């Protein structure tokens, strides 16, 4: 099992913004989840393809990684990551490292501080250090600008390179193909070497602050995924205060003006996060044998599946069933066909981009509003 640093790259944002989170999370085991296991499988697939030759992810559909079978969805997402890395590495003579573990020992931290980057590329001609992080999740789009996790990895890379080679520029990259983002599935942000070293000073200061007995707990968007969120008094009090102050006098949403609705929406995430954290904590109590008055765990509704797929196929063949009886055929997607015939050889007239619906986002998002698109379609000449 991979060790996790108490003040590592993945929790750096939380530690910096909430010094008390280090001690608060200490009693809770850092258990995995089905989503994390799926993400690990996707990472393993990407690393295998990059390290062991020139195979694409699609060549491994049906094979198993970390208990998950590679399907078309995983292969398509991981291939975006593979293609980006190969393009960067081919742009100039480069040194590439995958699943690279970095330590901040050279900064004399007050505790072990380390992390493992998905991919690090150093361009020998430009002196550019690329820090590339693959995110398989589709629920929350990860921002790349001022991303503490990626800056942590970049700091580790600079410390390891030391004076052996110049680092003229640092480019942090998030590859997240399964989550919608206005900047697309591959997003990057640039820093100078000094920017990252200055972040190192901030990081070490935050590490010392987190060790103080009275280190404060401070709630915010960094509370997501905090192991102690369900029992955190700061998050609870803040959420309840917001709920009471903002919603206490509201009887029906129909009484609200559009401006009031917009103001409330800004405050809803904090309340939602505390409620989700409370549910996670309650579920954890029951799973570990603890009691919770009025609640219990039950089995989810079972679904029928083949015990051993190969045994079913053998039985079906003996019964005279052909492939059309036991298999479903599915058209490949345009990106998959492009890999077969070449992107330039697929007639554009055969392809259409269709939205799956609408999403409500902040007006700072650079995508055009649906109403604007509709207006363009029905302009009167």
Query: Distance between CA 361 and CA 379 in Å, rounded?
Result: 25
Among the listed residues 295, 301, 269, the one whose alpha carbon sits nearest the alpha carbon of residue 282: 295
pLDDT, tens only, 300-320: 888 888 889 899 999 999 999
Would you mind telling me the total number of residues written for the chain in this entry? Answer: 381
pLDDT, tens only, 238-287: 666 666 655 556 556 677 778 877 877 777 776 777 777 778 778 878 88
Q: How far is CA 47 from CA 79, 87, 130, 187, in A?
A: 11, 15, 16, 20
With DSSP H G I counted as helix, E B as strand and the rest as coil, what are the percentages for the chain, rounded to 5? 45, 10, 40
Q: How far is CA 94 from CA 90, 121, 191, 303, in A?
A: 8, 6, 19, 49
Q: How far is CA 86 from CA 79, 93, 94, 186, 298, in A?
A: 10, 12, 11, 14, 47
Query: Across all residues in the chain, what is the average pLDDT?
Result: 85
pLDDT score of 156: 96
Mean pLDDT score, 309-334 = 88
Q: How far is CA 268 from CA 172, 192, 199, 246, in A?
A: 31, 36, 31, 10
* Termini Cα distance of the chain: 66
pLDDT, tens only, 20-48: 899 888 888 777 678 889 999 999 999 99
Is the confidence at residue 230, as pLDDT, over 80? no
Please give the structure tokens belonging to residue 205. Answer: 């200061």
Specify burial of residue 175 (Cβ count, 10 A radius: 0-12, 13-18, 19+): buried
Residue in this structure with the two tokens 């989503």, named with its chain if needed: 35
DSSP-derived pairing of the beta strands 128-134 and 169-175: parallel
- Banded pLDDT at 376 (limits 50, 70, 90): very low
Mean pLDDT score, 331-353 = 85
pLDDT, tens only, 62-90: 988 888 899 999 999 999 999 999 999 99
pLDDT score of 265: 77
pLDDT score of 333: 83
pLDDT, tens only, 203-229: 999 999 999 999 988 877 787 777 777
99 or 378, which is more confident = 99
297 or 268, which is more confident = 297
pLDDT, tens only, 159-214: 999 999 999 999 999 999 999 888 999 999 999 999 999 999 999 999 999 999 99
Query: Distance between CA 15 and CA 202 in Å, rounded?
Result: 11
């Amino acid at each position: 099992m991979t060790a996790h640093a108490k003040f590592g790259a993945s929790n750096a944002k939380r530690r910096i913004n909430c010094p008390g989170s280090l001690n608060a999370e200490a009693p809770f085991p850092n258990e995995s989840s089905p989503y994390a296991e799926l993400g690990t499988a996707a990472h393993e697939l990407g690393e295998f393809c990059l390290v062991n030759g020139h195979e694409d992810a699609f060549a491994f559909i049906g094979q198993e990684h970390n208990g998950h079978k590679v399907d078309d969805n995983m292969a398509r997402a991981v291939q975006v990551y593979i293609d980006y890395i190969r393009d960067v590495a081919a742009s100039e003579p480069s040194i590439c490292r995958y699943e690279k573990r970095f330590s901040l020992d050279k900064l004399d931290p007050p505790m072990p501080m380390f992390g493992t980057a998905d991919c690090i590329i150093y361009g020998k001609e430009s002196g550019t250090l690329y820090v590339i992080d693959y995110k398989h999740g589709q629920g929350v789009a990860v921002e790349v600008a001022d991303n503490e996790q990626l800056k942590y990895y970049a700091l580790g890379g600079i410390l390891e390179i030391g004076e052996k080679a110049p680092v003229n520029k640092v480019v942090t990259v998030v590859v997240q193909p399964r989550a919608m983002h206005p900047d697309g599935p591959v997003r990057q942000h640039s820093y100078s070497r000094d920017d990252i070293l200055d972040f190192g000073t901030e990081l070490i200061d935050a590490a010392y602050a987190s060790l103080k007995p009275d280190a404060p707990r401070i709630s915010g968007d960094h509370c997501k995924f905090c192991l102690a969120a369900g029992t955190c008094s700061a998050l609870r009090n803040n959420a309840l205060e917001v709920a009471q102050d903002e919603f206490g006098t509201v009887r029906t949403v129909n009484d609200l003006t559009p401006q009031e609705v917009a103001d409330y929406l800004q405050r809803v995430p904090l309340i939602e996060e505390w409620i989700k954290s409370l549910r996670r904590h309650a579920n954890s109590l029951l799973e570990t044998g603890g009691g919770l008055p009025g609640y219990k765990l039950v089995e989810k509704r079972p679904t029928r599946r083949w015990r051993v797929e190969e045994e079913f196929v053998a039985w079906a063949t003996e019964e005279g069933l052909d492939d059309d009886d036991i298999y479903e055929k599915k058209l490949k997607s345009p990106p998959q066909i492009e890999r077969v015939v070449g992107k330039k050889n697929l007639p554009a007239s055969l392809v259409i981009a269709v939205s799956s619906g609408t999403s409500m986002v902040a007006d700072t998002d650079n995508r055009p509003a649906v109403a604007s698109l509709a207006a363009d379609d029905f302009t009167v000449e």
